[in-house]
Amino acid sequence: MTTTFDINKIRDDFPILKQRINGNPLVYLDNGATSQKPQSVIDAIVNYYTTTNSNVHRGVHTMSQQATDGYEDARSKIRQFINADDDKEIIYTRNTTEGINLVAHSYGRQNVGPGDDIIVSNMEHHSNIVPWQMLCEEMGANLLVVPIDDTGELVMDEYEKMLSSRSKLVSITHVSNALGTILPAKQIVEMAHAHGAPVLLDGAQAVPHMPVDMNELDCDFYVFSGHKLFGPTGIGVLYGKKEYLEAMPPFLGGGEMIKSVTFEKTIYNDLPYKFEGGTPDIAGAIGLGAAIDYVNNLGFDQITAHEDELLRYGTEALSAIESLRIIGTAEHKAGILSFVIDKAHPHDIGTILDEQGIAVRTGHHCAQPVMARFQIPATARASLAFYNTKEDIDALVKGIDRVLEVFG
Ligand code: C6P
């Protein structure tokens, strides 16, 4: 069942949005960094700690079983949310970063050798660069970087040229956090598969904005963070195709990821627990499940329609400001408006906006190679969520007017 898209009612579900910051109503446009949480997510976490808190998969007592049920129900919700085939393919992690590191450490060390290639793009977050650099250094492999054009699109011809029998993994973002570009993920996967290379998609900035479907994309790994999807911090997801996960060695050794231990030999647990060593973030998983319920209830038809309209409105408004330049003008974009202004450093833009209660992110957005590509030190970035409004964009434009008054 999908509810009607009543923006005032939706905003009422997010208590933090009622705050005043520096004497002004909060205008929260930093959703790319982390999103706000609806009351239902906060309640799910409070309820868990108030009524159920126990360790999972360990006890026969009632609360332990209830905690296990909540934790595993959330896994099923995640599986349905991304249309994966099996709960075993859903591994809980702390965040996107940990998911990528898990694959680099486990799949990478097992499959990548001297002279092999790992392919990333010029618009990756540092989380999708550094683990591969570390792996390549250790294994004597090469990190190949697909270039991007002036609008922030991937140069597909160059990508095609890089693929070969040496390609051991393609690891590319689904949506760029610094530019907003939505990449042609399905095509990227098909092209890699034609050369026998598996693909990891970094979905950190995709899952809050659009439906993602593992069967449709046919990627081999997909990673995202709960906190950008209106869930809590400290919980993330690695999806992996069963045949890959089955063949991969564990990442962290310890409790939960074993079937039996002697000093002579340890038998590892089945999926997904093989990759979930130690006590997990149970409350985080349950909170993420509640966030997915919330998003499902709104439905992506309504979410993407609303955000597309906001993006169009914001792009038009910012483009009308003469000394402002939008960085990232790809045809298909998620709700991200990165910009620079002549004479005003992004940090000063962010500070002046903050004085007016407007939260944006400024800096390199953990994507320094993107900044290098566009020969800029940083940008100011307004990133949208479904609870944003045209009034938020109007406030941003008014805030930028103030920046222009100061830096004229
Ligand atoms: N980007 C931003 O402000 P973690 O920190 O592990 O939850 O997510 C890392 C990450 C990976 N990939 C992409 C595309 C991302 O956008 C992020 C996080 C935030 O853009 C914080 S740096």
What are the pocket residues of ligand 1 if the criterion is a CB atom closer than 6 Å to any ligand atom?
32-33, 95-97, 125, 127-128, 173, 177, 202, 204-205, 225, 361, 365-366
pLDDT of residue 148: 98
Atom 1 (ligand 1): residue with closest C-alpha? 33
pLDDT of residue 128: 98
pLDDT of residue 1: 57
136: annotated active-site residue: no
The set of long-range contacts for 185-192, using a CB threshold of 8 Å and a minimum separation of 24, is: 185/217, 185/219, 186/216, 186/217, 186/218, 187/156, 188/154, 188/159, 189/217, 189/218, 189/219, 190/218, 191/156, 191/159, 191/160, 191/163, 192/119, 192/163, 192/167
Cα-to-centroid distance, 385 and ligand 1 (Å): 15
Tokens 């906190």 correspond to what residue? 227
Whole-structure pTM value: 0.98
User: Catalytic residue among 44, 67, 341, 366, which?
Assistant: 366
Mean per-residue pLDDT pooled into runs of 10, the chain (408 residues): 85 98 98 98 98 92 97 98 98 98 98 98 98 98 98 98 98 98 98 98 98 98 98 98 98 94 96 97 98 98 98 98 97 98 96 98 97 98 98 98 93
pLDDT of residue 2: 62
The rounded distance, in Å, linking the Cα atoms of 53 and 44 is 12
Of 31, 83, 78, 37, the C-alpha closest to 307 is: 31
Pocket test for ligand 1, best of 93, 366, 384 (most atoms within 8 A of CB): 366
Cα-to-centroid distance, 202 and ligand 1 (Å): 9
Atom 19 (ligand 1): residue with closest C-alpha? 33
What token pair was written down for 213? 């479907």
Q: Would you list the domain boundaries of the chain?
A: 7-30+300-407, 43-296
Cα-to-centroid distance, 358 and ligand 1 (Å): 21
pLDDT of residue 227: 98
Q: Under CATH, to which class is 43-296 assigned? A: alpha beta
* CATH number listed for the domain at residues 7-30+300-407: 3.90.1150.10
pLDDT of residue 297: 97
The rounded distance, in Å, linking the Cα atoms of 213 and 210 is 10
Cα-to-centroid distance, 341 and ligand 1 (Å): 24
